[in-house]
């Protein structure tokens, strides 16, 4: 993934036609043959723009962001009466606790300094996060409500009535039963959301199967599962599901050879053929590709080799096809494109924090063009460093997404919830950024500066040089500051009068001695 560009839309109405124009310009620059799909959120103008783009560009797809669609599923579930009531009660407990520092500190003594996770610290699934956090600390909250400290803190007339209601809720088994039911409904969808909300591995190959597994998990744990399925299917079929999802599902070798998936559904077969027709304009090549499907499905040739079977759980689907799909060359060319795709645009939203980092109060007079350049350089540098860090762990980098592990994981929030994403580059070493802002146009080009500063080196070498320069510049500034302070305290003169001069300075003499001091440029 790379950051390509941004547009200043100030005072511009974001109509479908305007958004379509922006999309089309980027496709033109990148090249239509190099674009498989365009992913945006599912807002109405975005959807209309996507349809206009596909109407003009016959060989690419527009897809809605799966993360946003699943979040909308969770919002729809949250509007159901029984779920809505439980969530409101949970918010009442959380709000009461965090409205008093004393109660917060009391809670921490029982939860071992752990906070309750509240809605708003992440972009998605905020209601589930709040409910799951309450359920996790159920026992500790009950103990807190029966303590003497609780009664003492909430003994005032103003808080007593509300404290009694909150305590009744926390001590009510009926309430906790409803919380468990809400979590059982939402947790499978949150697991899918967590899985696809990433930018280091292609997620299109697993979204179809992940949604099926989420529905089956809800069916097993919730009595009113049919109602929940209706909510999910409404978003899935009317908004999210696309032919690309079905094609990626069929062509994913991990799922194809698992023996547990349904690949003979008309929906899947039809979707696969539609994708082949769109990505391969030549009719003869389309026929060859469709004929090669049987070679893949029956594990003939290289698909059925021992090494291909051994590599399957240790390879990303697209990489596996590149290595072992030589017996289906036409289908392989199409499949690699499909299985290399994402199903969400949520990863791209992380560049908003980069904008905030660069466009601070000190830099709020940056021209838009200059700001775009700085964000382009900084964000893509972050992406490269992040990619290098992922590649260090080769096992994790090449391994496919394991749905079995995800749907059996107990603590799904442990490594997902972060209040603030740690920056890949240290924010305390942005001297190079400020320097570029104050240079002239001819001097501020990062590309010209890189040519003379070892940009041909590896990225890690480049960052190391930048860090050294930042430290050297900081040291130089400190030395200059120290020298200036010394100049204020010392009056240059002949060596036999140095002591007297210093005494005069200490007594606040601002006469000729001060003037002489300002004229001298050298010191012993």
pLDDT digits (tens, 9 = 90+) for 236-259: 999 888 999 999 999 999 999 988
Bridge partners of residue 61, in order along the sequence: 37
- Among 121-125, 241-245, 504-508, which stretch is predicted with the lowest mean pLDDT? 504-508
Q: Does pLDDT of 440 surpass 70? A: no
Are residues 137 and 114 in contact, defined by beta-carbon separation less than 8 angstroms? yes
- The better pLDDT of the pair 294, 499 is held by 294
- pLDDT on residue 245: 94
Bridge partners of residue 38, in order along the sequence: 62
**Last residue of a domain, which of 64, 80, 105?**
64
Are residues 384 and 376 in contact, defined by beta-carbon separation less than 8 angstroms? no
Here the tokens at position 445 are 């080009």
Nearest by Cα to 206 from 482, 431, 461, 405: 405
Q: Following CA atoms 230, 235, 237, 240 in sequence, which dihedral angle do they give, to the nearest 10 degrees? A: -150
The whole-angstrom separation of Cα 434 and Cα 273 is: 53
- Give tens-digit pLDDT for 360-379: 545 555 556 666 777 777 77
- pLDDT on residue 456: 41
* HSE (side-chain half, CA atoms, 13 Å) at 385: 16
- pLDDT on residue 427: 42
Distances (CA, A) of 56 to 21, 35, 50, 52, 252: 11, 13, 10, 6, 29
Q: Does pLDDT of 476 surpass 60? A: no
Are residues 134 and 83 in contact, defined by beta-carbon separation less than 8 angstroms? no
280 in any annotated domain: no
- The better pLDDT of the pair 109, 369 is held by 109
Q: Does pLDDT of 108 surpass 80? A: yes
201 in any annotated domain: no
Are residues 16 and 52 in contact, defined by beta-carbon separation less than 8 angstroms? yes
- pLDDT on residue 56: 96
Distance of CA 103 to the CA centre of its chain: 33
288 in any annotated domain: no
Percent of the chain with pLDDT over 70: 67
Q: Confidence band (pLDDT; 50, 70, 90) for 385?
A: confident
- Among 152-161, 300-309, 477-486, which stretch is predicted with the lowest mean pLDDT? 477-486
Q: Give the residue-averaged pLDDT of 314-321.
A: 94
Q: Give the residue-averaged pLDDT of 457-485.
A: 52
Count of the separate structural domains present in the chain: 2
Q: Print burial letters for 410-429: b (CB count within 10 Å at least 16), e (below 16).
A: eebbeebeeeeeeebbeeeb
- pLDDT on residue 457: 45
- pLDDT on residue 381: 76
Q: Does pLDDT of 459 surpass 60? A: no
**Last residue of a domain, which of 47, 64, 81?**
64
- pLDDT on residue 144: 95
- pLDDT on residue 242: 92
Q: Does pLDDT of 494 surpass 50? A: no
Range of the domain at 10: 1-64
- pLDDT on residue 317: 95
Q: Does pLDDT of 102 surpass 80? A: yes
Task: For the chain, state the CA radius of gyration.
Answer: 31
45 in any annotated domain: yes
* Element of type H or E holding 218: helix 204-221
Classify residue 201 by its DSSP letter. S
227 in any annotated domain: no
- pLDDT on residue 261: 78
Q: Confidence band (pLDDT; 50, 70, 90) for 10?
A: confident
Kindly report the average pLDDT of the chain as a whole number.
Answer: 77
The whole-angstrom separation of Cα 292 and Cα 505 is: 93
- Among 100-114, 164-178, 398-412, which stretch is predicted with the lowest mean pLDDT? 398-412
Which three-class secondary structure string do you get for 281-292? CCHHHHHHHHHH
Q: Does pLDDT of 500 surpass 50? A: no
- pLDDT on residue 393: 58
The whole-angstrom separation of Cα 282 and Cα 286 is: 6
**Last residue of a domain, which of 26, 47, 64?**
64
DSSP codes of every residue in 416-438: T--SSPPPSS-TT--HHHHHHHH
């Amino acid at each position: 993934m790379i950051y390509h560009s941004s547009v200043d839309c100030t005072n511009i109405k974001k109509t479908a036609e305007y958004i379509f124009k922006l999309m089309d310009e980027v496709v033109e620059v990148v090249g239509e043959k190099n674009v498989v799909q365009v992913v945006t959120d599912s807002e109405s103008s975005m959807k209309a723009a996507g349809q206009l783009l596909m109407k003009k560009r016959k060989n690419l797809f527009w897809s809605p962001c799966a993360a946003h669609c699943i979040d909308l599923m969770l919002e729809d579930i949250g509007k159901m009466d029984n779920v809505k009531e439980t969530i409101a009660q949970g918010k009442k407990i959380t709000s009461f606790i965090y409205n008093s520092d004393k109660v917060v500190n009391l809670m921490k003594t029982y939860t071992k300094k752990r906070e309750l996770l509240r809605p708003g610290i992440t972009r998605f699934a905020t209601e589930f996060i709040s409910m799951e956090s309450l359920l996790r600390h159920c026992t500790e909250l009950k103990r807190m409500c029966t303590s003497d400290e609780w009664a003492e803190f909430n003994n005032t007339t103003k808080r007593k009535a509300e404290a009694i209601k909150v305590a009744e809720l926390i001590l009510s088994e009926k309430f906790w039963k409803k919380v468990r039911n809400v979590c059982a409904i939402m947790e499978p969808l949150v697991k899918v959301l967590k899985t696809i909300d990433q930018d280091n591995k292609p997620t299109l190959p697993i979204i179809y199967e992940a949604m099926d597994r989420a529905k089956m998990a809800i069916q097993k744990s919730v009595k009113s599962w049919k109602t929940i399925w209706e909510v999910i299917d409404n978003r899935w079929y009317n908004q999210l599901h696309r032919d690309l999802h079905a094609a990626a599902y069929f062509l994913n070798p991990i799922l194809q050879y698992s023996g547990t998936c349904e690949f003979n559904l008309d929906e899947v077969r039809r979707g696969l053929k539609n994708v082949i027709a769109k990505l391969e304009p030549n009719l003869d090549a389309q026929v060859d590709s469709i004929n090669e499907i049987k070679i893949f499905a029956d594990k003939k040739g290289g698909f059925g080799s021992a090494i291909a079977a051994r590599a399957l759980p240790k390879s990303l689907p697209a990489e596996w096809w590149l290595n072992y799909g030589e017996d289906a060359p036409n289908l392989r060319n199409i499949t690699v494109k499909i299985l290399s795709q994402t199903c969400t645009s949520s990863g791209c939203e992380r560049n908003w924090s980069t904008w905030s980092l660069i466009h601070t109060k000190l830099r709020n007079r940056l021209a838009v063009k200059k700001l775009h350049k700085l964000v382009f350089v900084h964000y893509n540098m972050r992406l490269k460093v992040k990619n290098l860090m992922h590649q260090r762990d080769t096992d994790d980098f090449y391994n496919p997404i394991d749905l079995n592990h995800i749907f059996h994981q107990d603590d799904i929030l442990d490594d997902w919830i972060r209040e603030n994403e740690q920056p890949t580059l240290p924010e305390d070493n942005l001297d190079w950024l400020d320097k570029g802002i104050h240079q002239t146009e001819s001097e501020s080009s990062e590309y010209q500066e890189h040519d003379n500063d070892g940009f041909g080196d590896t990225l890690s070498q480049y960052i190391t040089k930048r860090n050294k320069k930042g430290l050297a510049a900081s040291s130089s500034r400190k030395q200059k500051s120290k020298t200036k302070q010394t100049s204020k305290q010392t009056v240059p003169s002949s060596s036999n009068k140095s002591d007297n001069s210093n005494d005069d300075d200490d007594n606040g003499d601002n006469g000729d001695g001060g003037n002489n001091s300002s004229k001298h440029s050298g010191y012993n």
